[in-house]
Amino acid sequence: MDKIFIHALKSEAIIGIFDWERQVKQAVYVDLEMAMDVRKAAASDAIEDTLNYKRVAKRLISFIEGSSFHLVETLADRIAMLVLEEFGVESVRVVLSKPGALRSSRDVGVAIERARVDLDGRPRSTGAPT
């Protein structure tokens, strides 16, 4: 399966379990790998036949900036569900990094993979506070 990727997409979110983290937005970085067949787009050379990664990036930034989760695991999962639901890719790999979370580390985060079959019975990708 082919993959379209976005690396180091920067946004800011209310994310964390401590009181101070609930008061200020923090930077998060997202790496995405989205699996889809790009042969039609390669043959036609038309944006309509592929995944418009600019639309994906804009939607994710909007979603992340409006979110308020305690765990990076939850935010990463909701990002994956959003991409699967709204952009129709076959599967997605999300790496979410939260810089500065540990003084002795550049960043911390989580890497998850989800596929279309994971959509069944899952909560929708709302950015509502948890």
Catalytic residues: 98
Q: Are 6 and 53 in contact (CB under 8 A)?
A: yes
Q: Are 72 and 66 in contact (CB under 8 A)?
A: no
Name which of 119, 117, 79, 82 is nearest 95 in CA terms.
79
Between the CA of residue 36 and those of 5, 13, 62, 96, what are the distances in Å?
11, 28, 23, 21
